Amino acid sequence: MATATTWTVLSILNWSTNYLTQKDIEDPKTVVEWLLCETLSCSRIDLYLQFDHVMSEKELGKFKPMLQQCAAKQPVQQVVGSCEFYGIKLAVNDKVLIPRPETERLVEEGIRLAKIITESKRPRNASATDSREEKHTEETQENLEISEFVPAPQIRILDIGSGSGCIAIALALHIPQAHITALEKSADAIEVLKRNINFHNLDKRIQVVHQDIKDYQPKFEFDMIVSNPPYIADDEIASLDKTVSYYEPRMALSDKQDGLAFYRFFRKQFPVWLKDEGVALLEYGGNDQTAELKSIFSDFSQTIIKDYQQDDRVILLRKKLSADGGK
């Protein structure tokens, strides 16, 4: 890309898209748009309103190195240092797994289940009305209005392997009564996690625990456990696209075994960590792992949830309780 040439936003978009296409980069136009938005500090909509804008030398100097990084197959999210997940902005780098759209299905289901859990926690006589016939209609209506301001019961959620915090933060922003424990082993990931929590002002509702899951001993049971654990088998890492295998943290991708080690560990711990009416939502590697996941969690009630491509993606687990409510 010659610097002597006058480059408008449109001309650099077209040239760079063609350049990344030749480098076999997936969805090259979107990548270039992302880089231009970062360079010009604008939204994608604003970008399309300034196609005739002539790029300055300073702007080109910022754009070109980022383009070269993407041409080398470094994920654009790492290059610009951020991504969007479930409508929220998150900081990311090469120390955390880049959030995927598939994981948003886990979040959606978590939000749905939180509403059910909240209703089940409310006292059956939560309505503040007095059933005595002598009470006036006006007083009854007033009591009903007061009951609407009764705080929702607290929901305790454990996020295992929190990474960037994408799941924990998305749940916290959409479930106001949630108090979340974000468990993370990596010190480097913890820095990103805390940065994102602070950015969204959630430090009072998300507790960060820096610990290996195998050493973790919770002080209370949880209403919900969520996790997107490493589920790629060690012998499959080499076959992954370079944008994943080379640039994303190995410990977030694989358990260094068959991709199922964490699920076997969860099977042993969840009966203790979950409340009797609690739920667990676990992302996994898709259709090829479904049968094995069902076998591992045979002692739990199970529901398989599909992602946006209609592939198996999340397993929902509940304890199997006896007729009298026991385990």
Question: What pLDDT, on a 0 to 100 scale, did the predictor assign at position 58?
Answer: 96
Per-residue pLDDT of the chain (327 residues; tens, 9 = 90+): 545 578 999 999 999 999 999 999 999 999 999 999 999 999 989 998 999 999 999 999 999 999 999 999 999 999 999 999 999 999 999 999 999 999 999 999 999 999 999 988 877 654 444 444 444 455 555 554 544 556 778 999 999 999 999 999 999 999 999 999 999 999 999 999 999 999 999 999 999 999 999 999 999 999 999 999 999 999 999 899 888 988 999 999 999 999 999 999 999 999 999 999 999 999 999 999 999 999 999 999 999 999 999 999 999 999 987 655 555
Domain spans in the chain, listed from the N-terminal domain onward: 9-72, 103-122+151-319
Q: According to the model, what pLDDT value does residue 129 have?
A: 43
DSSP per position, 164-207: T-HHHHHHHHH-TTEEEEEEE--HHHHHHHHHHHHHTT-TTTEE
Q: What is the DSSP string of 277-311?
A: EEEEEEE-S-HHHHHHHHHHTTTEEEEEEE-TTS-
CB neighbour burial string for 191-216, b if at least 16 within 10 angstroms, e if fewer:
ebbbebbeebebeebbebbeeebeee
Domain 103-122+151-319 in this protein, CATH class: alpha beta
- pTM here is 0.88
